[in-house]
Amino acid sequence: QNACRVPGSQWPAFVRKVYTDTITLPVACADWRVEWSLCCRNGGITNIANASGDNLYLEAGINNVAKWNNSTPRFYIAPIPYLCISQPSFFLNGPLDPDNDSIVTTNVQPQTAYMTFCNYAGGYSLANPIGSTSTPAYDVNPNTGTASFTPGTIGKFVLAFECADYDRTSGVRLSYVRR
């Protein structure tokens, strides 16, 4: 009985949208970018300053010079809407690459547009975007994409991740996706 199904419900929720398409790029280019944005973020977000003035922004990039038939990595695990305060938590991303390239997942600063980053509210940062009380405060395993932390505050938080894939032979970055 969350807010997506029952307007006014005390239980928050999120809406998941999936966009899938096959794109044929007209020429080889090392920095193709596909982006999507939507106005505006929830004004009740705890870790982003003035969140209601920021767009939700997602991005993917492709280098079809290095490999013409590459697919971007994907996050196969949906975001967890609820975590318990003062309890060690694991935020699973489930990154996979359909082409079996090497992948690396990192913590990134949320964006509101291309090369425009959300400002963290006081006490929050890229190093600790959720006010974690654990040591280390906030860690993202680059191989599994799992973020580990201990939430120290009740609230709504924005976490952002980038998963990039690399050619196993040359080490060249082939593509990336951010959420």
Q: What is the pLDDT of residues 96-135, one digit of tens each?
A: 999 999 999 999 999 999 999 999 999 999 999 999 998 8
- Which residues contact residue 176 at a Cβ distance below 8 angstroms, ignoring those fewer than 6 apart? 60, 61, 72, 73, 162, 163, 164, 165
Tokens standing for residue 124? 């929050």
pLDDT at 21: 82
User: Model confidence at 2, in pLDDT bands (50, 70, 90)?
Assistant: low
pLDDT at 63: 96
pLDDT digits (tens, 9 = 90+) for 76-99: 888 777 788 899 999 999 999 999
User: Is the Cβ–Cβ distance between 177 and 72 less than 8 Å?
Assistant: yes
Tokens standing for residue 78? 């949906």
pLDDT at 57: 95
Contacts for 106-109: CB closer than 8 Å, 24+ residues apart: 106/140, 106/142, 106/161, 106/162, 106/164, 107/138, 107/140, 107/147, 107/159, 107/160, 107/161, 108/160, 108/161, 108/162, 108/178, 109/160
CA atoms within 13 A on the CB side of 11: 8
pLDDT at 7: 73
